[in-house]
């Protein structure tokens, strides 16, 4: 196989096409309006992180003079140019979607952003009251007399730039004849929208509109020429060299400070801005024209996510899909008894995350539990799992928590959790030097009548009870002795100085996971070459790694049928003759974020199926601590294969990637029923829960007299 740049799709452009698929959901008239607004907010949030990290990294490469091409053949400069063009196109489409497709029908339904000039007298009085009491005393304008005293602005927060007429009176200084400028930073203010009185429905006014309405109160006696909202995005691609760090926690705090000081790589500003004001900001921020995004509506669409949570307007929201209790988990007995009875595999958020939380909470107070070992990559703001670990330590149990301080944009929260855990007596490990610890595992060691028993939870998602309600992930509970032995060796290898072990069933990155995947792919290739049946099915968030892609190409050329469900980035080109004609790639964007990693290999009829924390990217396979977990217990094995296959039956939300890197919606065959994978998985969880409840009602359990004391 010729290894040419034409074999790969550029990573950054592939990511932008993923965000386009999210934006397509905001366009979809079949989706309720507030859900469409939510998807629009997600596209904005996604772009924020993309600019801070990926575009920020490209800027650093460009500034360093790096001209090395990526696997797709594009240099950093070429990639930046292509990204800039595509991002500008996407911004235009975002605001067309908001202003023309979402806001008008929302307003007709009684949910309206009010133009300042259209405020009623009573609404204007309310806005003036809010400005006088809650805004004017809090926000402070800062005069900017030269580029040298341009103020420090917080990343991705709103600001107002105010242009004042020249000081013709020469108050305090000599006349300059030049316009003067001031900036009003909003800071990290969660207060963005002012609720207005209305006779029905919900009306609101963005805070920046309110300030502009009464801006003269900040500059009494001056002539205000212009009041313009703007927002800066700074380069957050800060490299952390922790191999020689004596105090990683303090270095992480320093890194967060560096990130705040990053260069401005994107300026979003109201499109009505004058040439004079724009030039002033470009000079002060050091921004080029190509990095300026003129916005025809309210800035920071991410903030609109909060509007989707306003009570009422249920007809403009999705119907509720509450997580279901799994029939595999008996609520009347402990999680230890449940796991002893059988291995348990759950598919979140269709099946509740509560058993994961309950396992740790029960372990914290169980007198027979000796130790808890757990990896925490991302957690919720008020994490019940962290609280349980603290409680366990306070009760004298040996608790080890590997807290990954380098989890991007969760560093500050993880630093706080690490300190709280340490104060409670938890043994806290700050990951592994030079690597991110991304594996999802909890191991509980318990003393039982027959001896020591170890209970395990493996996951594809984080120990985050909040995101577990909106992310699609897999949980696996077991007390399998071989997996337990591997798990203990795994923890010892990353918390101590022991040499990484060769595990019996687990595979870990960056030691053996890549080789295991390649072996499994090559095994299918060789089987097919020998005329045997061969098949690969995989679900990942991203496929970037050239070595994995090349192995899949080789398998395809041998005739192996390959199906890939990839939510986000895919650098592989499917359907190319003499390269990838046997590879199909589908992507599903729906109400839940697809996050599970599931791998299937036919393996000569001895089907192998795995869950993993790792995507097929160099960072996961080479620079992170990850796990690949075989699911061998028959019932869980069958369930996982069924879940995986369901993603390729979707003809409602699935899009197919063609060889040009373009995603196309599947057009359902008129003779086939419409299949929406996430809805199918949820309805199956509901049916299973109801059936279990029905069976439970027919089982009579007598009250027994207490045993004689």
Q: Are residues 444 and 537 in the same domain?
A: no
The reply to whether 234 falls in a domain is yes
Q: Are residues 398 and 275 in the same domain?
A: no
The reply to whether 537 falls in a domain is yes
Q: Are residues 525 and 582 in the same domain?
A: yes
Q: Are residues 514 and 465 in the same domain?
A: no
Q: What is the mean pLDDT of residues 214-236?
A: 93
> 253 pLDDT band (50/70/90 cuts)?
very low
pLDDT digits over 115-134, tens only?
A: 999 999 999 999 999 999 99
pLDDT at 701: 60
Last residue of a domain, one of 458, 493, 528: 493
Q: Are residues 305 and 344 in the same domain?
A: no
> 3 pLDDT band (50/70/90 cuts)?
low
Does the pLDDT at position 698 exceed 80? no
Residue 436's domain is classified under what CATH number?
Answer: 3.30.870.10
The reply to whether 696 falls in a domain is no
Which has the closest alpha carbon to 263: 405, 59, 437, 435?
59
pLDDT digits over 301-313, tens only?
A: 999 999 999 988 9
Q: Are residues 183 and 245 in the same domain?
A: yes
Contacts of 35 (CB under 8 A, 6+ apart): 308, 316, 317, 318, 591
pLDDT at 690: 93
Does the pLDDT at position 252 exceed 50? no
* 370 and 431 Cβ atoms separated by less than 8 Å: no
pLDDT at 378: 83
Q: Are residues 567 and 676 in the same domain?
A: yes
Backbone phi, psi, residue 499, to 5°: -70, 135
The reply to whether 503 falls in a domain is no
> 244 pLDDT band (50/70/90 cuts)?
very low
Question: How is residue 332 written in tokens?
Answer: 């009347």
Does the pLDDT at position 558 exceed 90? yes
Count of domains in the chain? 3
Q: Which of 438, 457, 523, 595 is catalytic?
A: 438
Q: Are residues 343 and 303 in the same domain?
A: no
Question: How is residue 472 written in tokens?
Answer: 């699609």
Q: Are residues 126 and 190 in the same domain?
A: yes
Which has the closest alpha carbon to 326: 311, 343, 340?
343
Q: Are residues 404 and 528 in the same domain?
A: no
Does the pLDDT at position 249 exceed 50? no
Q: What is the mean pLDDT of residues 267-273?
A: 97
Which helix (H) or strand (E) is 665 found in, with range? strand 663-665
* 209 and 200 Cβ atoms separated by less than 8 Å: no
Range of the domain at 305: 5-316
Ordered strands of the 193-196 beta sheet: 111-113, 202-206, 193-196
Last residue of a domain, one of 446, 463, 493: 493
Q: Are residues 361 and 300 in the same domain?
A: no
Q: Considering Cα of 631, then 634, then 639, then 641, what sign does the dihedral take?
A: positive
Q: What is the mean pLDDT of residues 626-633?
A: 98
Which has the closest alpha carbon to 701: 330, 342, 329?
330
Q: Are residues 372 and 456 in the same domain?
A: yes
> 259 pLDDT band (50/70/90 cuts)?
very low
Please state which of the ranges 112-126, 183-197, 239-253, 442-456 shows the lowest mean pLDDT.
Answer: 239-253
pLDDT digits over 67-98, tens only?
A: 999 999 999 999 999 999 999 999 999 999 99
pLDDT digits over 390-445, tens only?
A: 999 999 999 999 887 764 555 666 677 778 888 889 998 887 778 889 999 999 99
Average pLDDT, the chain: 90
Last residue of a domain, one of 493, 527, 543: 493
pLDDT at 308: 94
The reply to whether 535 falls in a domain is yes
Longest Cα separation, the chain: 99
pLDDT at 261: 47
The reply to whether 64 falls in a domain is yes
Q: How far apart are CA 11 and CA 54, in angstroms?
A: 10
Does the pLDDT at position 2 exceed 60? no
The reply to whether 95 falls in a domain is yes
Please state which of the ranges 42-46, 197-201, 347-351 shows the lowest mean pLDDT.
Answer: 197-201
Question: How is residue 656 written in tokens?
Answer: 């197919």
> 276 pLDDT band (50/70/90 cuts)?
very high
The reply to whether 326 falls in a domain is no
Query: Among this protein's residues, is 438 annotated catalytic?
Result: yes
Residue 156's domain is classified under what CATH number?
Answer: 3.30.1840.10
């Amino acid at each position: 196989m010729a290894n040419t740049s034409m074999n790969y799709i550029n990573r950054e452009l592939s990511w932008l096409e993923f965000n386009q698929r999210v934006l397509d959901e905001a366009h979809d008239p079949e989706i309720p309006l507030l859900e469409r607004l939510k998807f629009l907010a997600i596209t904005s949030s996604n772009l924020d992180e993309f600019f801070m990290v990926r575009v920020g990294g490209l800027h650093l490469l460009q500034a360093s003079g790096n001209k090395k091409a990526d696997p797709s053949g594009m240099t950093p400069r070429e990639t930046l140019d292509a990204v800039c063009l595509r991002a500008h196109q996407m911004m235009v489409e975002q605001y067309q979607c908001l202003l023309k497709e979402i806001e008008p029908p929302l307003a007709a339904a009684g949910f309206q952003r009010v133009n300042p000039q259209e405020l009623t007298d009573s609404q204007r009085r309310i806005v003036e009251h809010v400005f006088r009491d809650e805004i004017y005393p809090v926000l402070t304008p800062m005069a900017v007399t030269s580029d040298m005293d341009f103020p420090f602005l917080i990343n991705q927060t709103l600001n107002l730039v105010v242009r004042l007429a020249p000081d013709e009176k020469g108050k305090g200084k000599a006349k300059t004849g030049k316009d003067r400028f001031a900036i009003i930073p909003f800071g990290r203010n969660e207060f963005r929208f002012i609720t207005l009185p209305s006779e029905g429905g919900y009306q609101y006014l963005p805070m920046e509109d309110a300030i502009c309405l009464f801006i003269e109160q900040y500059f009494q006696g001056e002539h205000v020429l212009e009041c313009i909202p703007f927002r800066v995005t700074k380069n957050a691609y800060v490299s952390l060299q922790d191999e020689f760090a004596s105090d990683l926690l303090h270095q992480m705090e320093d890194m967060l400070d560096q990130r705040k000081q990053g260069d401005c790589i994107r300026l979003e500003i109201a499109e009505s801005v004058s040439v004079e004001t724009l030039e002033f900001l470009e000079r002060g921020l050091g921004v080029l024209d190509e990095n300026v995004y003129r916005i025809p509506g309210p800035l920071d669409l991410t903030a609109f996510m909060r509007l989707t949570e306003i009570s009422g307007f249920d007809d403009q929201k999705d119907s509720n899909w509450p997580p279901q209790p799994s029939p595999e988990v008996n609520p009347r007995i402990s999680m230890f008894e449940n796991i002893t009875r059988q291995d348990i595999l759950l598919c979140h958020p269709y099946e509740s995350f509560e058993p994961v939380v309950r396992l740790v909470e029960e372990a914290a107070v169980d007198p027979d539990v000796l130790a808890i070992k757990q990896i925490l990559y991302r957690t919720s703001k008020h994490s019940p799992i962290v609280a349980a670990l603290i409680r366990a330590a306070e009760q004298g149990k040996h608790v080890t928590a590997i807290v990954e301080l380098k989890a991007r944009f969760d560093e500050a929260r993880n630093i706080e959790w690490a300190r709280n855990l340490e104060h409670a007596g938890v043994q806290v490990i700050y990951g592994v030097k030079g690597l991110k610890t991304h594996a999802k595992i909890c191991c509980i060691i318990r003393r039982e009548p027959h001896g020591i028993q170890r209970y395990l939870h493996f996951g594809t998602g984080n120990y985050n009870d909040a995101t577990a309600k909106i992310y699609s992930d897999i949980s696996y509970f077991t007390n399998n002795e071989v997996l337990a032995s591997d798990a203990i060796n795994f923890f010892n290898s990353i918390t101590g100085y022991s040499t990484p072990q060769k595990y019996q069933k687990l595979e870990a990155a960056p030691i053996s996971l890549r080789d295991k995947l390649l072996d499994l792919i090559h095994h299918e290739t060789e089987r097919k070459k020998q005329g045997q049946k061969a098949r690969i099915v995989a679900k990942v968030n991203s496929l970037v790694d050239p070595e994995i892609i090349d192995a899949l190409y080789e398998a395809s050329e041998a005739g192996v049928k390959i199906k890939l469900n990839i939510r986000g980035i895919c650098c592989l080109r499917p359907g190319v003759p003499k390269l990838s004609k046997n590879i199909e790639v589908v992507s599903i964007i729906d109400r839940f974020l697809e996050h599970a990693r599931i791998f299937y290999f036919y393996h000569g009829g001895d089907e192998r199926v795995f869950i993993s924390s790792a995507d097929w990217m160099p960072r996961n396979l080479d620079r992170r601590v990850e796990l690949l977990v075989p699911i061998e217990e028959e019932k869980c094995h069958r369930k996982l294969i069924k879940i995986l296959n369901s993603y390729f039956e979707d003809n409602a939300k699935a899009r197919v990637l063609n060889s040009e890197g373009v995603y196309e919606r599947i057009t359902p065959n008129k003779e086939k029923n419409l299949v929406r994978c996430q809805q199918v998985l949820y309805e199956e969880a509901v049916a299973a829960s109801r059936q279990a409840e029905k069976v439970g009602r027919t089982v009579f359990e007598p009250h027994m007299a207490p045993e004689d004391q």
